[in-house]
Structure 1
Amino acid sequence: MAYDQAPIEGSLKLQPFKAHVSDEDLNDFKQLVKLSKIGPKTYENQTANVKDYTHFGIDRQWLSDAKQHWETAYDWRKCEDRINSFPNFTAEIDEEGYKFNIHFIALFSQKAGAVPLLLLHGWPGSVLEFLDSLDILRKKYKPEELPFHVIVPSLPGYGYSSGPPLDRNFNTEGIASVMDKLMVGLGFGDGYIPQGGDVGSFVTRVLAVTSPSVKAAHIHLCIGQQGLPTEGLTEAELKGLQRVQDFSTVGNAYARHHGTRPSTIGLVLSASPVSLLAWIGEKFLQWSDKNPSVDAVLDSVTLYWFTQSFPRAIYVYRQFFGDKPQFFHNDPEFYIKKPMGYSWHPEELAPVPKAWVKETGNLVWYRGHEEGGHFAAMEKPELFVKDMEDFVGEVWPTVK
């Protein structure tokens, strides 16, 4: 397969990976979907407006229609085939004596001087977020022309990667350490650039501050700052600040539950695929500029179901929304001194203004978009690829 030749200087032993669930598990899943019940009609679920943080959440009719589509028309094998159309690997990473088996998708370049680029997802995302962007890159560039080595890992606990240890605490700094060891082990110890949104934005910031191999960083979420000046902000940024406020007051109940009752919600949403669809589907609809297709939402939820990702992945929220919240983006110790880039999208879950982001790092590159939301690479892959090309093209010559 093209793009599957890793740099020869890498020290990790890579194993090819293929996404596949057994026919038995797939049939059991279809039966579970069929037998899962949807709750009765209520005032709240009849008047719910998922695009409005203040208005109740998921719409019952959307959930009912999506369930019916899941039962009668959806094809998980198509999603598996799409995942498998890219080079997939696993690698063992030792983190303080614990062996992680980390899955990642890669487009390895054969071009001299190609820039290593680490793309980091968050919750409720996965590697699926980046497939459209990877598609654009492999159609635009031959392996000997591709300007990047693109590495898209499943974070620990997500997708096809193993979960965090069962006998100890694990946090964002631990994720960053594992991701750094992955990139260094692939042969990119001399320099790479991480990019992230959601949980990936926190991991990116930690990497930029702690890893000598990171030469620059790009994010499209920078949440946590409060009380900064609003003078000079654009009309779009001021509108975005209202969204920031709404998320802080009535939009983050899910995150507080993840952070304070991860055991309970993890077990609850592991019992019914339709319940998992309601919880995750709400976020894909609420945080996107335009609603993704039902199939796109079902792909993500089905991946979470088959990999049992939900209860394994929400450990990071104890750090963000537990008894001592730590957001990193508002922590002076995690000010990024290296070149930093930021892409602003109006329907991000909390679209923080450029001036506020500038307080958190050496912001040398910025692009404000008129469209797009939380899932940048999934919603607007053309814009995402262009941002990566332009940001990396501008900063890499200055850091190497």
Structure 2
Amino acid sequence: MAFSVPSCAKPYTLDIPDKDMSEWKQLLELAKIGPDTWEGRQDDGRFGVSRQWLIDTKDYWLNKYDWRAQEKDINSFPNYKTNIEDIDVHYIALFSDKEDAIPIIFMHGWPGSFVEFLPMLKLICDKYPAKDLPYHIIVPSLPGYTLSSGGPVDRDWTLADSARVLDSLMKKLGFSKYLAQGGDVGSFLATTMAHSFDSCVGLHVTLISADPPEGVALTQTEKDALGRSAKWQVTGTAYAQEHAWRPSTIGLVLSSSPLALLAWIGEKFLEWSDTTPSLDHILTNISLYWFTQGFPRSIYPYRVLFSTPPEQKPPFIDKPMGFSFFPYELIPGIKAAIEKKGNLVFYGSHDKGGHFAALELPKEFFGDVEEFVKVAWKV
């Protein structure tokens, strides 16, 4: 019997109320651009976003950007919601008609969202009709991020909690086993799911922390990538310390002003990309965070990622693992180092691409995933 959309997959349509749109516009119009400074005049990113970029982007967001058009684009894909452990989990899904289709869950990170994967989904839809699609493609909003609700307010919420919910999502959809793909926070979730659940039978990631062994010959691209990463770890992680140790303060601050949120998240898209995404994409992502008030709910992973003692290293991953190297990733993985972390069955290397690989290079990114699936999936 061909796989059909499960009854638990309740269709969802994104429709931000006009009242919320009006309030956003009023707040953005009244938001004051900070004073002219020497630091704010530097447009090379070393001090963050420039004052001129913020002026220009504020104007574009107010007067040229079309949220309703972006909303329509999002709704052109099959969106669903389901409730798991009192979390309203949003996800986009391309369900195949093939009985032997392979389930894959794709998980984003911060400050991204499910919209990172829309270009990939368009490529998949163009390449495969539903009757021939070899995969069930599941793209959730992580618990706490944008269109998925957050955890309870009377206790902490952790990556382990999110991993459990997302594993439950795949099981609820009828998949007794699946592959996990992730970048940024999604890579840590994929790793946790592979360690914790028999149902997750393999993983593909684009970010993993691993120092290359001594004596390994590196290409110039790899040397340059590691140099950029070393510099970023010195000069570019202050935001993460704030997320980890003062989440309440930064959460309340950025929830008070769309302009503040624009500067905080916009900086990351400019700095962390090899090819900067379109302004429309950046603003769609930030608009989702704003309209859902998702930012304070989304930064819980940093408390774990920046407080775990270095000696508490994760165990070796014995399940099939794939990795894709993109040189402008914040923590680029070198093959010899990744092999020490787990059962590496696929390694793809690229000469370009950054932190938002699925968005920047959707064809190359998904091509790697397909190659990984060929060697990782066992019937």
- TM-score, with normalisation over the residues of structure 2? 0.96
1:213 maps to amino acid: S
Partner of residue 48, structure 2? 57
What is the rounded CA distance, in whole Å, between the counterparts of 1:354 and 1:226 in structure 2? 10
Match of 1:76 among 42, 49, 67: 67
1:143 maps to amino acid: A
Pair 1:326–1:305, CA change in 2 (3 A) = farther
Give 1:32 deviation, angstroms.
Answer: 1.3
Partner of residue 222, structure 1? 208
The question of 1:14 aligning with 2:9 is answered yes
Give 1:226 deviation, angstroms.
Answer: 4.5
What is the rounded CA distance, in whole Å, between the counterparts of 1:126 and 1:19 in structure 2? 14
What is the rounded CA distance, in whole Å, between the counterparts of 1:24 and 1:367 in structure 2? 46
Q: Secondary structure at the match of 1:216?
A: strand
1:72 maps to amino acid: N
TM alignment of 1:112-261, pairs within 5 A: 112-189=99-176, 191-223=177-209, 225-226=210-211, 228-229=213-214, 231-261=216-246
Match of 2:329 among 334, 348, 363: 348
The question of 1:368 aligning with 2:349 is answered yes
Q: Secondary structure at the match of 2:299?
A: helix
Give 1:249 deviation, angstroms.
Answer: 1.2
Match of 2:267 among 282, 305, 309: 282
Give 1:326 deviation, angstroms.
Answer: 5.9
The question of 1:383 aligning with 2:364 is answered yes
Match of 2:308 among 325, 344, 356: 325
Deviates more, 1:19-28 or 1:264-273: 19-28
Is the CA contact 2:3–2:97 (under 8 Å) kept in the aligned structure 1? no
Is the CA contact 2:3–2:98 (under 8 Å) kept in the aligned structure 1? no
Pair 1:49–1:304, CA change in 2 (3 A) = same
Give 1:121 deviation, angstroms.
Answer: 0.4
Which runs of 5 or more residues in structure 1 are unaligned? none
- CA RMSD after TM alignment: 1.7
Post-superposition CA distance 1:296-336 (Å, at most 9, x none): 11110001000111011101111112xx3368xx8544321
Percentage of matched positions with identical amino acids: 47
TM alignment of 1:329-340, pairs within 5 A: 332-340=313-321
What is the rounded CA distance, in whole Å, between the counterparts of 1:333 and 1:320 in structure 2? 12
- TM-score, with normalisation over the residues of structure 1? 0.91
Give 1:227 deviation, angstroms.
Answer: 7.4
Match of 1:313 among 291, 295, 298: 298
Q: Secondary structure at the match of 1:193?
A: strand
Q: Secondary structure at the match of 1:203?
A: helix
Is the CA contact 1:123–1:199 (under 8 Å) kept in the aligned structure 2? yes
What is the rounded CA distance, in whole Å, between the counterparts of 1:22 and 1:349 in structure 2? 36
What is the rounded CA distance, in whole Å, between the counterparts of 2:314 and 2:50 in structure 1? 42
What is the rounded CA distance, in whole Å, between the counterparts of 2:221 and 2:336 in structure 1? 13
Which runs of 5 or more residues in structure 2 are unaligned? none
Deviates more, 1:110-119 or 1:25-34: 25-34
Match of 1:24 among 19, 23, 29: 19
2:50 maps to amino acid: D
Partner of residue 81, structure 2? 90
Count matched residues. 378
Is the CA contact 2:87–2:149 (under 8 Å) kept in the aligned structure 1? yes
Is the CA contact 1:346–1:371 (under 8 Å) kept in the aligned structure 2? yes
